[in-house]
Chains A and B, each alone.
Chain A
Amino acid sequence: MTNAVSLHGVRKDFGKLTALSDVTLEIEDNEFFTLLGPSGCGKTTLLRMIAGFENTTAGTIHLFGDEIEHLPPNKRPVNTVFQNYALFPHMNVVENIGFSLRMLGWTAAKIQARVDEMVEMVQLGAFVHRKPSQISGGQQQRVALARAMAPRPKVLLLDEPLSALDLKLRQEMRAELKRLQRETGITFIFVTHDQEEALSMSDRIAVISDGKLQQIGTPFEIYEHPNNRFIANFIGETNMLTATVNAVDGLHVACHLAGGERLNALANCQNLVGANGVISLRPERLSVSKTAPTGDILKGVLGERVYLGTDTQFIVKLSGELKLKVRMQNSIFQGAEFKTGDPVFVTIADDAARFLVD
């Protein structure tokens, strides 16, 4: 089976600036694929290159095995949902959705049928004759989706489509997008800087930073096994502790921290004894207790605590200047007995420590 989109060694320069360098990735058919990264990382540029709005400086882009580099956007069987939707202000909902079909020269009857189908799919029945300026942001979003999906693209590109919506609507639309993707079987390439969005919707995620591909993987892999310090930091919250390797067993390493505490961790690559790096510890994979449990533990003094509704967050001061963030679910843990200044033990869940070398 050919992949929906294959990028090979793709590079993009804007004058002297390099926006993307050496991006190689395969996006499978029917996949909900997300490009995740901070703003300015080059993810939108990558999307625009697939759409055809930017050409590549180097490298190749294949769509279902066909080289598409030479095709202008209007000849590529991909469609885009724009960040600001770019709904044509002078056309009503029906005209917007049917635009591509008109451009493709469909008959009026066929256009009508397809538009009806799309209106049905995104549940816009009541608004079909309104102009974009007369409907709400969420409805505009649906029109944009319907418009982009009307010509049955092989790949749908979504450029931060949810960023203009408020939180509630955004969460609703996530489910909606996921549903549409499942029902239509279209490959979605979704660009976002919101890690929560990425984690909740994607089949796979590619994290991009500074124009470079950092890691590709399922949400679980990306979150639990970040490849490097950037990803660990960017996705979710984490504690970063500087560490040195004492012993190596495959990818498992035994390290000591700056304050002398010893920890076992899983490394992102083969290491030698004496290598320096950081250990990433997710706060929710840690727990505090007054009595020493078994397994990997760290000793410290309880600092401030913050009540977060579902969780409580503690700051634990380790030796030296080191501080650890620990988050525990309130439903299974009553932290009433913990007071600032109490000496505590921090337990680390299995495989929770990642040793990362830059």
Chain B
Amino acid sequence: MNRTFDITHYRGFFGVTCLCLVILYGPLIIVMVYSFNDSLSITNWGGVSLRWYVDIFTGLESAKFKAAAWNSFTIAIMAAIVSTIIATAASIGMIRGGNFKGKFVSFALISLPIMVPEIVTAVATLIFFSTIGFKLGTLSILVAHIVFCIPFAYLPISARLQGIDASYEEAAQDLFANRWMTFRYVLMPIMWPGILAGFLLAFIISLDDFIITNFIKGAGIETLPTAIFGSVKQGIKPNIMALSTLLLLFSIALVTLSYFIGKRGEVTQKLQQ
């Protein structure tokens, strides 16, 4: 680009952006590279190998990782499904419910899980479960995850719904669709990109959670983050790097997917206007 004088341009900002990307990606790339290290030690380079990837699936800790992965994914999927359903209903209630008394309070309540620091949520949930005698286990993790996933699912869903003109619903109703049909055949398909984005966000957030899970997980139950934390507490081992790389690739695949879904939704929305 040849700029003689560009008022929007500040020298050095491009450099900072590059620095920013280096900082963001540097550690991840290093971990990726070292996950192929054919050496017991994490400090020395011993050539390229896939041994640590093999190790995750067949090594001593493989059973633990498999169980943790299974727990993580089942909990994340169920938490994401339930919280997405609740958040979708809440979005319609908030965005399409008109003005009502307590709307702000309702919004505050829905966003409460985002506003309360995670460690506080963890403490409060632990105290609560222990007081009512709720047995800590997979179910306790699932319930807690559903709670804090709701606002994360709510945000993209309600943003999408806000951009949808209410006349679609009126048209559907005018054309003899009842409330459920209106939702099922008209509103939901148009909201779909938002719902999907909300689901993915909730899924990732659940998959990502460490603090709350660590507080309220029951005996013998690990999710991937707690299992990884347990391992890295004693020092970073090469198999953890391999596992991290796999998770990292999974996350990137998921976010790329959601990016393209979002883009498609955006395009159709734009075309309508």
Contact = CB atoms under 8 A, between A and B. Distances in A.
Bound together: yes
**Candidate in B171, B185, B189 with the most chain A CB atoms within 10 angstroms:** B171
A55 B208 CA distance: 48
A82 B175 CA distance: 12
A99 interface: yes
A167 interface: no
Most buried by A among B172, B176, B181: B176
A104 B176 contact: yes
B185 A99 contact: yes
Contacts of A75: 176
Interface string B205-241: 0000000000000000000000000000000000000
A209 to B, nearest CB: 25
A74 B170 contact: no
A244 interface: no
Interface stretch (A5-13, A85-93, A210-218): A85-93
A151 B175 CA distance: 8
A80 B165 contact: no
A52 B170 CA distance: 9
Interface string B135-173: 000000000000000000000000000000101101111
A51 B189 contact: no
Given A89-B268, A133-B272, A82 B170 contact: yes
Nearest to A104: B176
Interface in A136-171: 147-148, 151
A90 B189 contact: yes
Instruction: Give the bracket for the number of chain B residues in contact with chain A.
Output: 20 to 34
Contacts, number: 77
A259 interface: no
A79 B175 CA distance: 7
B161 to A, nearest CB: 14
Given A74-B177, A88-B190, A100-B176, A80 B171 contact: yes
A200 B167 CA distance: 28
Q: Is chain B's interface secondary structure helix, strand, loop, or mixed overall?
A: helix
A133 B177 contact: no
A53 B98 CA distance: 13
Nearest to A83: B167
Contacts of A52: 173-174
Contacts of B190: 88-90
Interface string B179-200: 0010001100110100000000
Given A89-B268, A99-B175, A80 B170 contact: yes
A72 B173 contact: yes
B272 A89 contact: yes
Interface in A57-87: 72-75, 78-80, 82-84, 86-87
Contacts of B178: 74, 103
B165 A86 contact: yes
Nearest to A144: B171
A52 B271 CA distance: 29
Contact of B268 (A51, A79, A133): A133
B167 A100 contact: no
B170 A86 contact: yes
B271 A74 contact: no
A219 interface: no
A226 interface: no
B176 A88 contact: no
Contacts of B177: 74, 99-100, 103
Contacts of A78: 174
**A79, A86, A99, A133, most chain B CB atoms within 10 A:** A86
Contacts of A42: none
B186 to A, nearest CB: 6
Contacts of A79: 174-175
Contact of A100 (B165, B175, B268, B271): B175
Contacts of B271: 89, 133
B264 to A, nearest CB: 11
A103 B167 contact: no
A132 interface: yes
Contact of A88 (B172, B173, B181, B269): B172
B271 to A, nearest CB: 4
Contact of B173 (A73, A90, A104): A73
Interface in B238-273: 268-269, 271-272
Nearest to B188: A90
A53 B166 CA distance: 11
Contact of A103 (B176, B189, B272): B176
B272 A73 contact: no
A74 B272 contact: no
A132 B167 CA distance: 15
B169 to A, nearest CB: 9
B25 to A, nearest CB: 37
Interface of B: 165, 167-168, 170-178, 181, 185-186, 189-190, 192, 268-269, 271-272
19 contacts: A51-B170, A72-B173, A73-B170, A74-B175, A74-B177, A79-B175, A80-B171, A82-B170, A83-B167, A88-B172, A88-B189, A89-B190, A89-B268, A89-B269, A99-B175, A99-B185, A133-B271, A133-B272, A151-B175
Given A88-B190, A132-B272, 8 more contacts: A53-B174, A74-B173, A80-B174, A89-B190, A102-B185, A103-B178, A103-B185, A133-B268
Q: Which 9 A-B pairs have the closest CB atoms?
A: A100-B175, A133-B271, A86-B171, A86-B167, A103-B176, A90-B189, A73-B173, A103-B177, A80-B174
